[in-house]
């Protein structure tokens, strides 16, 4: 199995703080790999480094290309869909315009998106800033899925959402994972267990554990690595 993402010895320093201190891991093609860890250990920074949104050193390969030092738009055009932690929909634009920005050539598949999220079709002319948190997350995920990207980087899709909505999003992501490789940052362990096959755990800017998702069934290990109960 080839790797969709290979990271070796990744270092990131932000405002004098050494956030990532030699992170190395890989994301096999076709898999869902969950990147876990306590708050502030560098999970989001890892995704941002892959996209070239923060300056980094070390080696990053994405879909077969060494993208170290590439500008963000060039990395993304390799075929990445990105769902940021804070959704980052463009609040002054309509739903339709937000989706239009994510179009790549003629491969945008609105039929699939509106089948997954019918609400986005009915609210196409509504400004994204007036949507609820759940609807904004729909839009953020829809932007990432619009072009059938081979690699999805998804940062805490369940953050701040009601359990029922989280379950609906998990269904959508499960379907998306059928034809894309996914690197998922997620605090909700039940979502991780449902979607992921592999886990990578970060602590203090370093990888402290790599393994199968079944490792999360060990409550002692979960408590030790994540500082939370592992019964989720």
Question: Among 15, 16, 39, 92, which residue interacts with other proteins (rule: CB under 8 A)?
Answer: 92
Binds other proteins (CB under 8 A): choice among 11, 38, 59, 100: 100
Which pair of structure tokens corresponds to residue 125?
């002319």
State the minimum distance, in angstroms, from the CB of residue 73 to other proteins.
Answer: 5
Residue 65 or 217 with smaller CB distance to other proteins:
65
> Does residue 102 interact with other proteins by CB under 8 A?
yes
Shorter beta-carbon distance to other proteins: residue 94 or 167: 94
CB of 136 to other proteins, least distance (A): 12
| Pattern 21-60, other proteins, x by CB under 8 A | ------------------------------x-x-------
Q: b or e along 47-65 (b: 16 or more beta carbons within 10 Å of the residue's beta carbon)?
A: bbbbbbbbebebebbbbee
Q: 183, 150, 194: which is closest to 46 by C-alpha? A: 183
* Binding segment toward other proteins, per CB under 8 A, in 29-37, 55-63, 82-90, 222-230: 82-90
Kindly tell me which of 88 and 119 has the beta carbon lying closer to other proteins: 88
- Interaction between residue 164 and other proteins (CB under 8 A): no
Nearer to other proteins among residue 137 and residue 189 (C-beta): 137
DSSP summary character for residue 19: E
Which helix or strand (DSSP H or E) is residue 215 part of?
none
Task: Mark residues 124-163: x for contact with other proteins by CB under 8 A, - for none.
Answer: -------------------x--------------------
Judged by beta carbon, residue 53 or residue 228, the one nearer other proteins is: 53
Nearest to 64 by CA among 54, 84, 42, 79: 79
Q: Is 92:86 a contact under the CB 8 Å cutoff?
A: no
Q: Which of 84, 157, 205, 230 binds other proteins (CB under 8 A)?
A: 84
> Would you say 68 and 75 are in contact if contact means Cβ atoms under 8 Å apart?
no
CB atoms within 10 A of CB 204: 14
Instruction: Please tell me the distance from the alpha carbon of residue 189 to that of residue 66, in angstroms, as a whole number.
Output: 32
**Residue position matching structure tokens 């007036």:** 130
Q: Is 152 helix (H, G, I), strand (E, B) or coil?
A: strand
- 90/80 Cα distance (integer angstroms): 19
Q: Which residues bind other proteins (CB under 8 A)?
A: 51, 53, 71-73, 76-77, 80, 82, 84, 88, 90-93, 97, 100-102, 104, 143
């Amino acid at each position: 199995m080839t790797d969709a993402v290979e990271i070796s010895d990744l270092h990131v320093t932000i405002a004098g703080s050494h956030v990532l201190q030699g992170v190395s891991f890989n994301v096999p093609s076709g898999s869902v790999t969950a990147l876990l860890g306590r708050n502030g250990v560098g999970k989001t920074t890892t995704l941002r480094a892959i996209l070239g949104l923060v300056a980094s050193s070390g080696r990053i390969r994405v879909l077969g290309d060494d993208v170290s030092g590439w500008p963000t738009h060039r990395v993304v055009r390799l075929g990445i869909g990105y769902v940021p932690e804070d959704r980052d929909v463009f609040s002054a634009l309509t739903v339709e315009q937000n989706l239009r920005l994510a179009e790549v050539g003629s491969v945008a598949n609105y039929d699939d998106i509106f089948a997954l999220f019918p609400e986005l079709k009915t609210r196409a002319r509504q400004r994204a800033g007036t949507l609820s948190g759940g609807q904004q997350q729909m839009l953020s995920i829809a932007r990432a899925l619009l072009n059938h990207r081979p690699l999805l980087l998804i940062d805490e899709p369940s953050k701040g959402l009601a359990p029922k909505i989280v379950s609906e999003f998990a269904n959508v992501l499960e379907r998306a994972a059928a034809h894309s490789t996914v690197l998922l940052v997620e605090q909700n362990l039940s979502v991780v267990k449902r979607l992921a096959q592999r886990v990578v755990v970060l602590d203090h800017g370093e990888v402290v554990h790599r393994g199968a998702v079944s490792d999360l069934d060990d409550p002692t290990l979960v408590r030790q690595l994540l500082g939370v109960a592992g019964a989720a």
